[in-house]
Chains A and B, each alone.
Chain A
């Protein structure tokens, strides 16, 4: 390691606010040439934002960036590239109908006499591809390539500018094992050639496999930095999640009884979910516990038909027996609360009343089959009271509410349809402490009234207050089940323990 030369890159006390939210709070980072430095943190911890500052995508409010000992200003991706920084984003920026060579050089096409120099372009691309150990032709259209190969093209584009610093943002989320190994080999190569590699990920096993250092971020701050050899996976998880305060349970663990409401068997989607099976009983809150990338969201999408599945069976209890049900049909019977309030949960410009009543309009009609406004208002007010939604007037637009109250509106809408099953996917994301507590309390009330709840959250302390049992998920598989009373150590180990066996080639 070239630590003798001093760090190649220093990010000091970087602060960034988006409106009222502090995304980065005096965060710091140091990168050395010829070193692979992992950057870890839960969703919203600030790792992507910090790198976006370095990549010129987002301007910082305060702090300094020092490269090779000199302070620099990075105001655009252009300036970032000019400083020798390459950013391989999580979402690949591919131009599918164009060839590999064109994709690699599109922002800096080699020219000869006013025209694009195709020979030079092809040769340049071929060289880069060879370095990356890829065997496809530079003349191939990118749309014919697999995700892994496309990523190679993205990396080639990054390498084309001979960078000193390369940032990889969650590069392995959609790769097969073999492609992942290939990526690691390339990263090792880059390290050997003296490039500073920054590797953002949430896969624990990978950082222990490939990186030399790790820096952990939480809530916009840098909470720890260490050589990999000097830290254990569990310690990393602890840094990521912070001290999990043992908070009061809102409801004692409830033992499931009777027949399951929903049973899932063999749910599989190639490359994403493997043979998932579990049961949900009425009146219980089951926590789906796993780190990001474990397949939690994919499981939810598969259950309700937003994504296709390759195989699997769902059965739901109906009357006194159970019968099979398709994911799309299941969707119609579920109350779904996601973290994406803005995109899927609510209609922002619409009033609170409008959002609350949207799924229950058929019950609010006057004899003329027109919507009875007074009934609708009463309906809304009842929900507002029951869920204690803070607002001035139910007719105000839902976008003027705070995040927590918005979330309650989403819950309230589904509550009114009386579903037997709720899926709550990160329902407390972005809420303040009081709002979190209320949402959790509501959750327990729903369960007490007999609903089944599948709760997904990366905030362990929340889960620990309400869950009756946990299903531990990792890399698309259910790897274990824990009782509701499990303590935080056991939970953290369950989710990091599954990772300490590095993925064998």
Chain B
């Protein structure tokens, strides 16, 4: 298949978001026939819960990516914040205060990332790679690689509640998605962020405070990571450094790329990323149902990322 032919297909299927949608439908149909218990309400709710953490993280990453950057430290930050909060609760503290501690901790990481990337103009990839290593290392060190549990019941009662049968974490995801969507489509900040991602120089000429906008994205992504950390520790019953392992970063980037967020910046929507998170979770889940190992899971995702970025690149190249 020549490049020209592939390019034509890519532009016909443009936006490349049609492809994941079609694939998702195909997978669902396949599952319907081969693994019908997939569609049991229990399982569906499970899927939603599973994807809620990825979805929240993907929303955060979307903002950063639209601005033209990337935040590899999100999972590590998530684990860091969760662990700190967990320590506090284990020592008998109030869950609400614990959540606050988490947020402050992750905000600190986000601030460092933001200042380095926005004002010092260091490459976001390397900046967040460094903070990922440092923060991840700090978490492993603090916990001695042991997970932290023994949370007060109040903690579980709140985060695992199911008002009207819908888990709290799903509600939070929906709320976050709506807020992010509204911000990106209808606020000044959203417009500014798209502008910066499209062409930072032109944005500056248009009197947009480029640095402040970029800084904000790293702060928000860190805060969302913190939020996700809290929800995840409630679901798992413990917090550990492992919740932020390498595979998570790949998942987040995959979700965003599949959801139509370009790594080159300037395009993408939070809702797209949420769909991407759904898609990735769907793939993981179906692969599991089909008995494919966790490791092959990783392989598939790696290939998915490269394939989608390549398609995105092709689609962009047309004038």
Contact = CB atoms under 8 A, between A and B. Distances in A.
Contacts of A343: 199, 201-202
Interface string A329-366: 00110001000000111111110001000110110010
Contacts of B144: none
Contacts of B199: 343-344, 347-348
A358 B191 contact: yes
A331 B206 CA distance: 10
Interface in B184-213: 186-188, 191, 194-195, 198-199, 201-203, 205-208
Nearest to A333: B207
A350 B194 contact: yes
Main secondary structure of the interface of A (DSSP, over half): mixed
A413 to B, nearest CB: 7
Contacts of B201: 343-344
A332 to B, nearest CB: 6
Contacts of B195: 347, 350, 358
B186 A370 contact: yes
Contacts of A358: 191, 195, 206, 208
Contacts, number: 49
Main secondary structure of the interface of B (DSSP, over half): helix
A361 B188 contact: yes
Interface residues of A, number: 22
B266 interface: yes
A371 B208 CA distance: 16
Contact of A362 (B188, B205, B266): B188
Contact of A413 (B186, B188, B206): B206
A348 B207 contact: no
Interface residues of B, number: 18
A359 B198 contact: no
A40 to B, nearest CB: 31
B191 A349 contact: no
A349 B206 contact: no
A13 B229 CA distance: 69
A371 B202 contact: no
Contacts of B206: 347, 358-359, 413
A369 interface: yes
A373 B191 CA distance: 12
Nearest to B191: A361
A371 B194 contact: no
B240 to A, nearest CB: 40
B203 A347 contact: yes
Contacts of B207: 331-332, 359
Nearest to B266: A349
B182 interface: yes
A371 B188 CA distance: 7
Nearest to B197: A347
B191 A354 contact: yes
A370 B198 contact: no
B187 A347 contact: no
A347 B266 CA distance: 10
B191 A371 contact: yes
Contacts of A359: 206-207
A349 B188 CA distance: 18
Given A347-B198, A359-B206, 4 more contacts: A332-B207, A344-B199, A350-B198, A361-B191
**Top 9 A-B residue pairs of the complex, sorted by shortest distance between their CB atoms:** A370-B186, A361-B188, A347-B198, A344-B205, A371-B186, A358-B206, A344-B202, A347-B195, A344-B201
26 contacts: A331-B207, A343-B199, A343-B201, A343-B202, A344-B201, A344-B202, A345-B202, A347-B194, A347-B198, A347-B199, A347-B202, A347-B203, A349-B267, A350-B194, A350-B198, A358-B195, A358-B206, A358-B208, A359-B207, A361-B191, A362-B188, A370-B186, A371-B186, A371-B188, A373-B186, A413-B206
